[in-house]
A and B are shown apart, each in its own frame.
Chain A
Amino acid sequence: SAGSLQFIHKYHVFQQNVQRHETMNLFSSNFWNESGSAVYGINQFSDMSPEVFRATYLGSRSVQLPKYTLFSKNAKKLP
């Protein structure tokens, strides 16, 4: 509810996120004048700190994989 500690915290996080959106959008339009560049703004994750977002939604670990080469392509044809 409005005025609660949680509300104040989330509102503060939201304001910081909005500032970040502006920086990201400015960077894309000012530094690179590229066509179709991504737009950043308010969505369902905007009241979430980057740390919480990362911990909640980014749950994949990476594994080092071999580079695909022509050899990999031929290898599958071997008996």
Chain B
Amino acid sequence: LPPKFDWRDKNVVTPVRNQESCGGCWAFSVVESIESSCAIKGRQLELLSAQEVIDCSYRDAGCKGGSPINALIWLNQSKAKLVKESVYPFNAKTGLCRYFSRSALGVSITGFKAYSFRYNEDVMMEKLLEWGPLVAVVDAVSWQDYLGGIIQHHCSQGQSNHAVVITGYDATGDTPYWIVRNSWGTKWGVDGYVYIKMGKNVCGIADSVAVAFV
């Protein structure tokens, strides 16, 4: 494995979004994973609708919260077409689900994988390269105050509450870290990203990991 890797360098990662005061991180993470999977497959990199997932994933509670896994189960079972962000824009509120015909332009997933990589972050590195950016559910309570640097403490395992996307890692320095994309805008963290120490399941980064395939 390369000592350093970031899917952003391959131009398959869309810009950081802002979920505003909507607790829809679970939907953003899934949609961002699908956007990257499409681009890795050679399609044009484009923003897809997180609002569609917020409104339509019936197993979840829209802006009041949800689970990326439930959203992936819904997307996989329904084969719903995820349309472009411009067609179904984000409005930071849970609304009525808008349905699109099977002939509508959009992306449906062919499947997904979801595993725990606890105590197995070496394999997770491998899977990041093989599968593409990974959805992860973490404990982000202390992230309220994060400005930059590598998170190594003040974070618990097994109390996950926030969904993000792992786009890469850097193991060239003294403290290897995951490069994690958040959905709180670019003014937060390092241009919207956060770094988490590798190998110790910091913030539960390896506890709940998923990826969608297109």
CB of A35 within 8 A of CB of B173, answer: yes
CB of A59 within 8 A of CB of B173, answer: no
Q: A43-B145, A67-B115 are in contact. Are A38 and B26 (CB under 8 A)?
A: no
B64 at the interface (CB under 8 A from A): yes
Smallest Cβ distance from A3 to chain B, in angstroms? 25
CB of A65 within 8 A of CB of B114, answer: yes
Interface residue range, chain B: 35 or more
B95 at the interface (CB under 8 A from A): no
Smallest Cβ distance from B47 to chain A, in angstroms? 20
CB of B144 within 8 A of CB of A45, answer: yes
Question: Considering the complex, which residues of chain A in the window 32-74 have a beta carbon less than 8 Å from any beta carbon of chain B?
Answer: 32, 34-41, 43-46, 48, 50, 53-63, 65-68, 72
Residues of B within 8 A of A67 (CB): 115-118, 120
Smallest Cβ distance from B208 to chain A, in angstroms? 5
Smallest Cβ distance from A64 to chain B, in angstroms? 8
CB of B23 within 8 A of CB of A58, answer: yes
CB of B114 within 8 A of CB of A28, answer: no
CB of B117 within 8 A of CB of A68, answer: yes
CB of A60 within 8 A of CB of B188, answer: no
Question: Considering the complex, which residues of chain B in the window 154-208 have a beta carbon less than 8 Å from any beta carbon of chain A?
Answer: 154, 160-163, 173-175, 177, 184-185, 187-188, 195, 204, 207-208
Smallest Cβ distance from B31 to chain A, in angstroms? 14
CB of B207 within 8 A of CB of A54, answer: no
Interface residue range, chain A: 35 or more
A27 at the interface (CB under 8 A from B): yes
Residues of A within 8 A of B120 (CB): 67-68
Question: Of all chain A residues, which has the CB nearest B123?
Answer: A68
CB of A59 within 8 A of CB of B66, answer: yes
CB of B63 within 8 A of CB of A62, answer: no
A20 at the interface (CB under 8 A from B): yes
B129 at the interface (CB under 8 A from A): no
B103 at the interface (CB under 8 A from A): no
CB of A62 within 8 A of CB of B160, answer: yes
CB of B154 within 8 A of CB of A60, answer: no
B100 at the interface (CB under 8 A from A): no
CB pairs A–B below 8 angstroms (16 shown): A32-B152, A36-B174, A36-B175, A37-B149, A38-B148, A45-B188, A50-B141, A57-B19, A57-B162, A58-B140, A60-B68, A60-B160, A61-B26, A62-B208, A65-B114, A68-B123
Interface residues of B (CB under 8 A from A): 19, 21-26, 29, 63-70, 114-118, 120, 123-124, 127, 137, 140-142, 144-154, 160-163, 173-175, 177, 184-185, 187-188, 195, 204, 207-210
